[in-house]
Amino acid sequence: MLHPITTVHYLVLSVALLAIGTLGVLTRRNIVIILMSIELILNAVNINLIAFSRHFQHTTGQIFAIFVITVAVAEAAVGLGILIALFRNRQTVQADEIELLKW
């Protein structure tokens, strides 16, 4: 009755999570939530990597996922540091109110 789960199931899930994360990055105004959406995108990538690692019984996908997580940690730390500096100077966390470089 229930179909066995194949690699394609994981790929479809990964696409859905990627779409949700991209929508969050593109539409939200709050920078904190934009950073959270970036984490969602990176998790979608990790699901993909793990699915292929399992499919081919090859460890490299998991190694790559570890590096993706490392980059995500660095990104979150620096991004939140920038956010604090920004809030101290501009008193806002809305992405479209920071328009110094806009012409």
Partner 1 sequence: MWLDTLLFYFFALLTLTGGVLTVTRRNAVQSAVSLITALVGVAGLFLLQRAEFLFAVQIVLYVGGIMVLFLFVIMLVNLDEAARQRQFARQWWLALACVAAVVAEVVWFLQKGAGALRLPPAAPPPVPGPGNTETLADVLFSEYLLPFELASLLLLVAIVGSVIMAKKRI
Q: 11: which residues sit within 8 A by CB, 6+ positions away?
A: 48, 51
Considering the complex, state which of residue 55 and residue 102 has its C-beta at the smaller distance from partner 1. Answer: 55
Residues 20-39 that bind partner 1 (CB under 8 A): 20-24, 26-30, 32-33, 35-37, 39
Which amino acid does the sequence have at 72?
Answer: A
Per the structure block, which two tokens stand in for 94? 């809305």
If DSSP codes are grouped into helix, strand and coil, which group holds residue 36?
Answer: helix
Residues 53-82 that bind partner 1 (CB under 8 A): 53-60, 62-63, 65-67, 69-78, 80-82
Q: 79: which residues sit within 8 A by CB, 6+ positions away?
A: 35, 38
* Interface pick for partner 1 out of 88, 100, 101, 103 (rule CB under 8 A): 88
Considering the complex, state which of residue 88 and residue 102 has its C-beta at the smaller distance from partner 1. Answer: 88
Contact criterion met (CB below 8 Å) for 30 and 93? yes
CB of 46 to partner 1, least distance (A): 7
Q: Would you count residue 94 as binding partner 1 (CB under 8 A)? A: yes
